[in-house]
Amino acid sequence: MASVTTDTDVADDDIRPMRADARRNYDKLIAAAREVFTERGSEGSLDEIAKRAGVGPGTLYRHFPTRDDLLDALMRDWTERVVADAEAAVSADISPRKTLEQWFTAYIGHVTLHRGAAVKLSAAMDDESSPMYRKCQTLISANEHVLDDLAGSGALRSGVEARQVMRLISGVATFADSTGIGEDEVTPMLDIVIDGILK
Amino acid sequence: MASVTTDTDVADDDIRPMRADARRNYDKLIAAAREVFTERGSEGSLDEIAKRAGVGPGTLYRHFPTRDDLLDALMRDWTERVVADAEAAVSADISPRKTLEQWFTAYIGHVTLHRGAAVKLSAAMDDESSPMYRKCQTLISANEHVLDDLAGSGALRSGVEARQVMRLISGVATFADSTGIGEDEVTPMLDIVIDGILK
DNA sequence: ACCTGAACACCGTTCAAGT
DNA sequence: ACCTGAACACCGTTCAAGT
């Protein structure tokens, strides 16, 4: 849980020194994983990933002890993009409804990295032991940021909690993910939720 | 797609004659599947199911060519219960909000047969080739029944479509399924959706 | 008509042997 | 410190041989 390598509480994903060949394999594995997960979803074969990266299966396990560690590593620059999109929705000078539509759509986009990702991330939101738990925390903050802003301008129905909204949108994302419906089919679902959120 | 055994369009799940040993194995397989799926979720081992039923793997495949066929068979008396619960919600003399709460809770209960079932059923809703497609149709009708009744008494916001509501609740169910949150955590999510549905 | 179980392919995971 | 690949266990799926 706590970092063992340092005494200060720095981020886990800083660049630790790595032997040149290790670094190369690490990068090749991530690239291969991105490919395979995109094609086959988050249950894509780890064997296949190692094969495409041109390394032995053991190398994959050395770098990523579990499948979720690999998925987590895939999301390196993910948090920045999430934060940026939340900020964009807040600072755009548009109606509360439009703000939520924009943010939720971005949210769903981020969470449906590839088939099966949405369920995994939903589960990770409530599971501290998941490697992706930290990333989900950023998503939670970003969502709170957007809702707090709307609350500030008095647009929110009383009693609406960010956590519940988050779970609802995750549910929508998971549904979209597993059925393969597109953005045009998602918007009507979001509209109902938004009606439930706004005054 | 169409039934080949009869010329009239009867239900698929009528009792066809079966040799005594076949019937016995069929029943044992269903019982074993119920066990394993409950313990391990819908991806539980088919091998394990055959083993617990005390039959060879080939026998399982003879009765249930795909995993989804097995899941479908597990839901034999499922539709009746769904229809009954929808009817109960409609005919109970309670507020529109309570009606929806009751129906949605029942809905989610039915759809979360065991871990992983909710996603499968969500996907089946939009996939005609799924063995569970027919069962989902009943769920769709039941849901329309409840919403139509509320529309009749003018309680619904204009523009609310049963299909969208259905998808939202399926999303909630899937989320609940994958995170393991209980009914008390689900209700606040439902409340927001209900605010979006009712006038 | 139905059942059995051996057989095959594929995958996750580990670990001894190498550099 | 890192990599390789053989090895093992487990699972899905098929099919020839049986009754």
Q: How many domains does chain B have?
A: 2
- Tell me the C-alpha distance between A72 and B72, whole Å: 35
- Inside any domain, residue A165: yes
- Inside any domain, residue B6: no
- The angle subtended at Cα B137 by Cα B4 and Cα B162, nearest 5°, is 155
The helix (run of H) or strand (run of E) holding residue A183 is helix A183-197
CATH number at residue A53: 1.10.10.60
pLDDT at A171: 98
* DSSP three-state, residue B173: helix
Closest CA to B177 of B107, B129, B125, B98: B107
B24-28: average pLDDT: 98
pLDDT band at B15 (very low <50, low <70, confident <90, very high): low
- Inside any domain, residue B136: yes
pLDDT of B20 > 90? The answer is: no
Average pLDDT, chain A: 92
pLDDT at A19: 86
Retrieve residue B21's tokens: 């040993």
Whether A150 and A83 share a structural domain: yes
- Inside any domain, residue A110: yes
CATH number at residue A89: 1.10.357.10
pLDDT band at A18 (very low <50, low <70, confident <90, very high): confident
Which 8-state DSSP code applies to residue A8? S
- Inside any domain, residue B87: yes
pLDDT band at B159 (very low <50, low <70, confident <90, very high): very high
pLDDT at B6: 34
Domain span at A102:
78-197
pLDDT at A5: 38
Closest CA to B111 of A25, A48, A16, A178: A178
Whether A29 and A91 share a structural domain: no
Which 8-state DSSP code applies to residue A198? B
What single-letter amino acid sits at A170?
A: S
Whether A94 and A62 share a structural domain: no
Q: What are the CB-based long-range contacts (under 8 Å, 24+) for A77-82?
A: A78/A110, A78/A113, A78/A135, A79/A135, A79/A138, A81/A110, A82/A106, A82/A107, A82/A110, A82/A138, A82/A139, A82/A142
- pLDDT 10s digits, B117-150: 999 999 999 899 999 999 999 999 999 999 999 9
Say if CB A186 and CB A111 are below 8 A apart: no
- Inside any domain, residue B151: yes
In chain B, what residues touch A170 (CB-CB under 8 Å)?
A: 175
Tokens 């390196």 map to which residue? A76
pLDDT band at A3 (very low <50, low <70, confident <90, very high): very low
A148-158: average pLDDT: 97
- pLDDT 10s digits, A182-196: 999 999 999 999 999
| CA B60 vs CA A160, B22, B174: distances in Å | 49, 11, 28
Which has the higher per-residue pLDDT, B5 or A23?
A23
Whether A56 and A94 share a structural domain: no
Is any atom of nucleic acid chain C found less than 7 Å from the CB of residue A45? Answer: yes
pLDDT at A2: 38
Residues at the strand D interface (Cβ < 7 Å): A 18-19, 21-22, 24-26, 54-59, 62-63; B 43, 45-48, 56-58, 61, 66-67
| CA B163 vs CA A62, A153, B18, B21: distances in Å | 47, 33, 39, 43
pLDDT at A121: 96
Instruction: Quote the percentage of chain B above a pLDDT of 70.
Output: 92
Retrieve residue B170's tokens: 């399926």
pLDDT band at A7 (very low <50, low <70, confident <90, very high): very low
Residue B108: CB atoms within 10 Å: 22
In chain B, what residues touch A168 (CB-CB under 8 Å)?
A: 168, 171-172, 175, 189, 192-193
